[in-house]
Structure 1
Amino acid sequence: MDGSSAVVVGGGIGGLAAVIGLHRIGWQVTVVERASTLEDAGAGISLAANGLRALDELGVGEAVRNASRGQYSGGTRTPRGGWLARMDGSALERAVGAPIMGIPRSALHRLLRDALPAEALRIGAEADSLQQIHPGTVRVGCGDTVLDADLVVAADGIGSPMRSRLFPAHPGPAHPGPAYSGSTVLRAITEHPVDPGTDFELTWGPGAEFGHIALPDGQAEWHAVLNLPAGRRFADPLAELRRRFRTWYDPIPALLDATRPTAVLHHDVHELRTPLPSYTAGRTALLGDAAHAMTPNLGQGACQALEDAVTLAAALATAPTVQAALAHYDAERRPRGQAVARAARQAGRMGQQLSHPVAIALRNTAMRLTPSRAATRMILRHHAWVPPRLD
């Protein structure tokens, strides 16, 4: 199907990866991004071995590794600093070929964008209609502009308008749209270099989590997750976090003190709790959060989007028809994406969202007694993914 054309709706990590993958197999691709300026907003992101392998297949893995920092030391703690589980990044690297890597989200976006054909990206263009005009062509309307293509990739995020058009009855009147997880997250990158002591940590208190990722330039990304009603906001988010975490062990207060108040981002955590019946409809494929928005508890959201992108491109490179490729994509990606989403939800319920003292004590005891090899095996279920080849 060399020489075919596609429109990718959404210029996030998954959408940009899809453009790169489709371009590598010889397709003409346009990505439509509704933002009028690309501000490269966001804090930090962790990339596991499965995401890194996908990036390797897209030809940008080395550049991403060079802009990242490996997570070799750290683990999970209590608010007083006691260890619940230690992370052995070297053992994980031996098992799957790569440690988890930390990178600023803005840097990852720029690297993906740099790998695009110059003419591929259209910003400030919102896809406001989707129409199958005949069996071989699908049409995307962007205001006064019409784009016809052999394929549309809906990578327009958790609130995906494309998903709503394709599956108007999903998830049904009992669960309208993405569901609030019960948690809200505040995050930022420190203003200047700071030494958090380890590459990566999570700290679990009653209904709260604080975590950090050390970044290559000496700065650190931190996040705070709280059990709160949806829509709750603070007049001074940084001051509120200092109040809530003032008794937690160092370096948590130091990370907050190294942050500009205006740098703090605050988002409620939503997920696509009711699984989609398919990741495809007609000549449209859903990808990333549009297909399987999940909670961040396993750090797999971006990795799963990258897996989607490579799997879709490989299917289109080898299948005899677009329809056959989309059937293969759905069969490969839907079981895995939905299984990872379920596991992430369960991890949140057993981690940060626990608030009852007895439940927390039982969880903490179980974690301390779990052998490190068993913990590594649990991680491997998600990290040990081998991408199809695009060459």
Structure 2
Amino acid sequence: MRIAIIGAGIGGLAAALSLHAAGFDGIRVYERAADIRGLGVGINLLPHAVRELTELGLGDRVAALGVAPGSLAYYNRFGQEIWTEPRGLDAGYRWPQLSVHRGELQLALREAVRERLGDVVGTGHRLTEVTEGPDAVAARFATDTGPVEIEADIVVGADGIHSALRAQRYPEEGPPPWSGLTLWRGTARGPAFLDGRTMIMAGDGEQKFVAYPLSEPDAAGTARINFIAERRGTGTPAVDWNRAVEAAPIAALFAAWRFDWLDVPALIEAADEILEYPMVDRDALPQWSTGRTTLLGDAAHAMYPNGSNGASQAIIDARTLAYRLATEPTVPSALAAYDADRRPATAALLASTRQTGPERVMLLARERAPEGFAHIHDVIGADELAEIAASYKRAAGFDPAALNARPSLSAVRS
């Protein structure tokens, strides 16, 4: 079967690996960029995604790239603890949560594709048009050497928030809507904080800081730390995710955020590079699959990073798509089943991220105690805090008991 995957990001590469593991051949990946350079900063792979990578035989390879956090802690802008919960293996999952560098993960998946499928990734291919026939799909690309046309049995659009396939299907959609928030993301070496295995989020709906280690502490007690600084009403809605900015103005926004356990402005100042990202997403679509084409990852459901779920959902898309293609009798029925499995779930998750997902605890603390509190339970009850965390896990598909008991998505076509 000829399968064309548009985009060699995490979702597209995971799709190629998943389809190969399900017994498909004829897989090709077409990437718009001239080179796959492994750009970006840190991301979190949640246990439901790590399960899928493990079942693809990549668990140890990916785990070696970063750190498995044992807890997630929320604080207000004064550094007062709101809520802490265990994560990964410490929370009873059979698989860890992993904090890794996005670019390093992409390169690791690219290498796995090369090892298992061979030289199937073509760079410098910008999709310009897809035309469906009854039994095949024609995809046309612009390249440096002129137009290229290929024919496939299936075309998968895994080409990100600016997906060309999505734009062709929904030409009136327009640019991604901006939330009014701007993120500044970077990595820096700095003193390990708390126990060295905790992901922290501090602040509220107007201003927030996220940090988590990407390496174990060295002999001097320092680690490679990923951070995200966020502020409302500052920056630009232009979606250029590789725009570098100076550290000093960002650090100045957080000048007062010097906690006993973390010096926020000092960490920002220590960054090698800071990239500015407008917080944008995409509205949920009424349909991903049409005939022999479908969408995957950010092309299908770009969402705010509240809850650390973007890359994880793309990996689950990839595995679900391969499972349905391996177990359904026809390509159209498989793509329709994939759509029915994933589209409603991600639409609900997208809606949750627009309501800040599990980070709602920080908004409530700010709303109910803007100047801080003596004890969080004077402000938000323990049951309310626990239910906010649990409800997001249910919506995102990584409730511990449900995930541990769910049947595998591994399948091989007959």
TM-score, reference length from structure 1: 0.88
Tell me if the contact between 2:47 and 2:88 (Cα under 8 Å) persists in the aligned partners: no
Indicate if the aligned counterparts of 2:161 and 2:299 stay in contact, CA closer than 8 A.
yes
Deviates more, 1:352-361 or 1:32-41: 352-361
Q: Percent identity?
A: 29
Shift of the 90–16 alpha-carbon distance from structure 1 to 2, 3 Å rule, reads closer
Q: Corresponding residue for 1:189? A: 187
**Structure 1 residue 58: Cα displacement:** 2.6
Structure 2 residue 275 is the aligned partner of structure 1 residue 265:
yes
- In structure 1, which of residues 151, 155, 160 is the aligned counterpart of residue 163 of structure 2? 160
Given the alignment, which residue of 296, 300, 304 partners 1:295? 304
Unaligned runs of 5+ in 1: none
Task: Check 1:124–1:363 CA distance in 2 against 1; reply closer, same or farther (3 A cut).
Answer: farther
Q: Secondary structure at the match of 1:307?
A: helix
Query: What is the alpha-carbon distance in structure 2 between the residues aligned to residue 150 and residue 352 of structure 1?
Result: 47
Cα-Cα RMSD:
2.7
Unaligned 5+ runs, structure 2: 217-222
Equivalent-residue separation in structure 2 for 1:349 and 1:71 (angstroms): 17
In 1, the alpha carbon distance for the partners of 2:319 and 2:11 equals 10
Q: Secondary structure at the match of 1:336?
A: helix
Matched residue of 1:295: which SS?
Answer: coil
Aligned to 1:200: 199
The answer to whether structure 1 residue 93 and structure 2 residue 91 are counterparts is yes
102, 108, 111: which one aligns with 2:108:
111
Q: TM-score, normalised by structure 2?
A: 0.84
Question: Partners of 1:46 and 1:165 in 2: how far apart?
Answer: 31
Q: Does 1:242 align with 2:251?
A: yes
C-alpha distance in 1 between matches for 2:68 and 2:366: 34
1:331 is displaced (CA, Å) by: 0.8
1:205 Cα deviation after fit? 4.1
| CA shift in 2, pair 1:245/1:351, >3 Å | farther
* 1:98-127 Cα shifts (integer Å, max 9, x gaps): 342111111211111111123211111111
Matches within 5 A, 1:1-391: 4-25=1-22, 26-89=24-87, 93-94=91-92, 96-116=93-113, 117-132=117-132, 134-143=133-142, 144-169=147-172, 171=173, 176-190=174-188, 192=189, 194-197=191-194, 198=196, 199-205=198-204, 207-217=206-216, 218-228=223-233, 231=236, 237-248=246-257, 249=259, 250-260=262-272, 263-273=273-283, 275-347=284-356, 351=360, 358=367, 361=370, 368-371=380-383, 373-374=386-387, 376-381=389-394, 382=396, 383-384=398-399, 385=403, 386=406, 387-391=408-412
SS in 2 for 1:281: coil
What is the DSSP-based 3-state SS (H/G/I as helix, E as strand, rest coil) of the residue aligned with 1:339? Answer: helix
SS of 2:355's equivalent in the other structure is helix
Choose between structure 1 and 2 for higher RCO, CA contacts under 8 A separated by at least 6 residues: 1
Q: CA deviation at 1:294?
A: 0.6
Determine if contact 2:74/2:362 at 8 Å carries over to the other structure.
no
Q: Secondary structure at the match of 1:296?
A: coil
